[in-house]
Amino acid sequence: MKMKTAHLCPNEYEHAFWTEGKLVIGLDEAGRGPLAGPLSVAGVIFPIGYENPDIYDSKALSEKKREKLYDQILEDALWAEVIEVSPADIDRYDIYHADMRAMEQIAAESGVSCILTDAMPFQNGTEVISLVKGDQKSISIAAASILAKVTRDRIMVQYDQEYPQYGFAKHKGYPTKQHLEALRKYGITPIHRRSFRPVAVQQEQLDLFPDEK
């Protein structure tokens, strides 16, 4: 019988700072790709030397595992924060810069000078390290990815009750076949990102043929 082994973040960047007695914040987001709903951005600071082999890239974990770890992370973290960026702000700044602004805000509010991000470089006068696939290399980033993912998924489940015909509880706003068909059939909701192409195309159709709304 093959045994499942837990994922393990190497945490070399945390350990480098921890050996100097410095706290580290990990930053990550969930929801850059969906056509609807907020962008969820999170930051987590763990005690120096903290380890948990179960904390890993949220995309590699089951929903049940993420939900369990969500509570564990909030219990063990020295500090954690999640920011929800509205569709309006995503349209205003574009998804990349909306993400960056939220990460910069969380980093500033944390008061920590050592910052690890998942492929999001920014400058704020501190030590910022941007890691490709950081949620697989850093426990702090991985924990942030879990908080962001669980928070956003819960929000989309709530939106499913408000807009049941779109199937948000199932696809969480991503451009699935079901979502695109619902968008064409029922139109744009207040939580859709109007700057994203499928939504923008739908808006163009409404502008051209308003009687079809």
> pLDDT tens for residues 147-201?
999 999 999 999 999 999 999 999 999 999 999 999 999 999 999 999 999 999 9
CA distance 158 to 87: 16
H/E element, 69: helix 63-76
- Is 7 a member of any domain? no
The residue range of the domain holding 70 is 12-206
Task: Say whether pLDDT at 1 is over 50.
Answer: no
Strand, coil or helix: what is 5?
coil
- Is 42 a member of any domain? yes
Q: Looking up tokens 């704020």, which residue turns up?
A: 124
- Is 5 a member of any domain? no
- Is 129 a member of any domain? yes
Q: What's the CATH number where 100 sits?
A: 3.30.420.10
- Is 6 a member of any domain? no
- Least Cα distance to 134 among 63, 56, 204, 189 occurs for 56
Q: Which amino acid is at 26?
A: G
- Is 2 a member of any domain? no
- Is 212 a member of any domain? no
Please, is 46 exposed, middle or buried when counting C-beta atoms within 10 Å of its C-beta (0-12, 13-18, 19+)?
Answer: buried
- Is 213 a member of any domain? no
C-alpha triplet 36, 66, 181: angle, nearest 5°: 25
Q: Which amino acid is at 200?
A: A
pTM attached to this predicted model: 0.93
CB 88: neighbour CB atoms within 10 A? Answer: 15
Q: What is the CA radius of gyration of the chain?
A: 19
Q: Which residues pair with 111 in a beta bridge?
A: none
CB 66: neighbour CB atoms within 10 A? Answer: 19
Note the pLDDT tens digit of each residue in 104-160: 999 999 999 999 999 999 887 789 999 999 999 999 999 999 999 999 999 999 999
Total domains present in the chain:
1
Q: Are 118 and 28 a contacting pair, CB within 8 Å?
A: yes
